[in-house]
Structure 1
Amino acid sequence: MQGTKQEVRNLIAGRWEGANGHATEAVYDPATGEVIAETPLSTREDLDRAVKAAGAAFGPWAATPVTERARILFRFKMLLEENFGELRDLVTLENGKDAKDAGGEVRRGIEVVEFACGMPSLMMGESQRDVARGIDNVSYRYPLGVVAAITPFNFPCMVPLWTLPVAIAAGNAYILKPSERTPLSAVRLGELLLEAGLPEGVFSIVNGGREAVDAICEHPGIKAVSFVGSQPVAKHVYELGSAHGKRVQALAGAKNSMIVMPDAVLEQAVPNIVSSAYGNAGERCLAGSVLVAVGGVADEVVEKIGEAASAMKVGPGYEEGSELTPVIRDSHREKVRGYIDLGEEEGATVVLDGRQPPREEGFFVGPTILDNVKGEMRVAREEIFGPVLSVVRVASLDEAIEFTNASPFGNACSIYTENGAAVRHWRERVEAGMLGVNVGVAAPMAFFPFNGIKDSFYGDLHATGKDGVRFFTENKVEVTRWLSEPGPTPDVQRPTETGA
Structure 2
Amino acid sequence: MRTIGHFIDGVETTGNSAEYQDVFNPATGEVQARVALATQADLDATVASALAAQPAWAATNPQRRARVFFNFVALLNRDIDALAELLSAEHGKTFDDAKGDIMRGLEVAEFVTGGPHLLKGEFTEGAGPGIDMYSMRQPVGVGAGITPFNFPAMIPLWMLAPAIMAGNAFILKPSERDPSVPVKLAELMLEAGLPKGVLNVVQGGKPTVDGILAHEGIDAVSFVGSTPIARYVYATAAAHGKRVQAFGGAKNHMIIMPDADMEKAADALMGAGYGAAGERCMAVSVAVPVGDATADKIIAALRPRIEKLKVGPATDRATEMGPLITAAAKERVLGLIDKGVEQGAILAVDGRGLSLQGYENGYFVGATLFDHVTADMDIYKEEIFGPVLSVVRAKTYDEALKLTMDNPYGNGTAIFTRDGDAARDFATRVNVGMVGINVPVPVPVAYHSFGGWKASSFGDLNQYGTDSIRFWTRVKTVTARWPLGIKDGAEFQFPVMK
Q: TM-score range by the shorter chain?
A: over 0.9
Question: Are 1:79 and 2:75 counterparts?
Answer: yes
Question: Are 1:310 and 2:310 counterparts?
Answer: no
Partner of 2:61: 65
Deviation track 1:92-117 (CA, whole Å, cap 9, x = no partner) reads: 11111111111111111110000111
Partner of 1:497: none
**Corresponding residue to 1:139 among 135, 145, 148:** 135
Question: Are 1:353 and 2:345 counterparts?
Answer: no
Residues 45-444 of structure 1: pairs in structure 2 closer than 5 A: 45-295=41-291, 296-359=293-356, 360-444=360-444
2:399 maps to amino acid? E
In structure 2, stretches of 5+ residues that fail to align are 487-498
Distance in 1 of aligned mates of 2:305 and 2:394: 23
Distance in 1 of aligned mates of 2:218 and 2:16: 25
Tell me the CA shift for residue 232 of structure 1.
1.1
Contact 1:272 1:440 in 2 (8 A): yes
Q: Could you tell which deviates more after superposition, 95-104 or 351-360?
A: 351-360
Tell me the CA shift for residue 21 of structure 1.
4.8
Q: Could you tell which deviates more after superposition, 122-131 or 274-283?
A: 122-131
2:91 maps to amino acid? N
Secondary structure of the residue that 1:83 maps to in structure 2? helix
Distance in 1 of aligned mates of 2:315 and 2:447: 31
Distance in 2 of aligned mates of 1:6 and 1:157: 20
In structure 1, stretches of 5+ residues that fail to align are 487-500
Partner of 1:496: none
Tell me the CA shift for residue 280 of structure 1.
0.1
Distance in 2 of aligned mates of 1:322 and 1:122: 41
Contact 1:6 1:184 in 2 (8 A): no
Contact 2:16 2:41 in 1 (8 A): no
Normalised to the residue count of structure 2, the TM-score between the two structures is 0.95
Partner of 2:464: 464
Partner of 1:10: 6
Distance in 2 of aligned mates of 1:314 and 1:60: 50
Tell me the CA shift for residue 19 of structure 1.
5.9
Distance in 2 of aligned mates of 1:402 and 1:380: 15
Deviation track 1:288-318 (CA, whole Å, cap 9, x = no partner) reads: 0000010120001012112211210010122
Deviation track 1:247-283 (CA, whole Å, cap 9, x = no partner) reads: 1111110000010000111122211111000000000
Secondary structure of the residue that 2:250 maps to in structure 1? coil
Distance in 2 of aligned mates of 1:311 and 1:482: 76
Secondary structure of the residue that 1:484 maps to in structure 2? helix
Distance in 1 of aligned mates of 2:72 and 2:156: 14
CA RMSD of aligned residues (A): 1.2
Tell me the CA shift for residue 233 of structure 1.
1.0
Secondary structure of the residue that 1:194 maps to in structure 2? helix
Aligned residues with identical type, % of pairs: 48
Distance in 2 of aligned mates of 1:8 and 1:273: 37
Question: Are 1:473 and 2:473 counterparts?
Answer: yes
1:437 maps to amino acid? I
Secondary structure of the residue that 1:226 maps to in structure 2? strand
Tell me the CA shift for residue 126 of structure 1.
1.1
Secondary structure of the residue that 1:33 maps to in structure 2? coil
Tell me the CA shift for residue 395 of structure 1.
0.8
Contact 2:227 2:456 in 1 (8 A): yes
2:481 maps to amino acid? R
Contact 2:131 2:485 in 1 (8 A): no
Contact 1:144 1:223 in 2 (8 A): yes
Deviation track 1:234-253 (CA, whole Å, cap 9, x = no partner) reads: 11111110110001111110
Contact 1:314 1:358 in 2 (8 A): no
Partner of 1:489: none
Cα 1:364–1:119, aligned 2, differ >3 Å: closer, same or farther? Answer: same
Partner of 1:494: none
Contact 2:27 2:364 in 1 (8 A): yes
Distance in 2 of aligned mates of 1:469 and 1:363: 39
Tell me the CA shift for residue 386 of structure 1.
0.2
Q: Could you tell which deviates more after superposition, 68-77 or 253-262?
A: 68-77
Q: How many aligned residue pairs are there?
A: 482
Tell me the CA shift for residue 132 of structure 1.
2.4
Deviation track 1:165-192 (CA, whole Å, cap 9, x = no partner) reads: 1111111000000000010101111111
Secondary structure of the residue that 1:393 maps to in structure 2? coil
Deviation track 1:209-237 (CA, whole Å, cap 9, x = no partner) reads: 00000000000110000001111111111
Distance in 2 of aligned mates of 1:239 and 1:355: 38
Partner of 1:36: 32
Distance in 1 of aligned mates of 2:417 and 2:216: 51
Secondary structure of the residue that 2:221 maps to in structure 1? strand
2:116 maps to amino acid? P
Distance in 2 of aligned mates of 1:485 and 1:372: 75
Distance in 1 of aligned mates of 2:480 and 2:307: 69
Distance in 2 of aligned mates of 1:19 and 1:35: 22
Tell me the CA shift for residue 18 of structure 1.
2.2
Secondary structure of the residue that 1:241 maps to in structure 2? helix
**Corresponding residue to 2:20 among 24, 32, 42:** 24
Q: Could you tell which deviates more after superposition, 112-121 or 18-27?
A: 18-27
Question: Are 1:445 and 2:445 counterparts?
Answer: yes
Secondary structure of the residue that 2:46 maps to in structure 1? helix
2:74 maps to amino acid? M
Normalised to the residue count of structure 1, the TM-score between the two structures is 0.95
Distance in 1 of aligned mates of 2:67 and 2:251: 40
2:48 maps to amino acid? K
Q: Could you tell which deviates more after superposition, 476-485 or 25-34?
A: 476-485
Distance in 1 of aligned mates of 2:355 and 2:468: 41
Secondary structure of the residue that 1:124 maps to in structure 2? coil
Distance in 2 of aligned mates of 1:294 and 1:378: 22
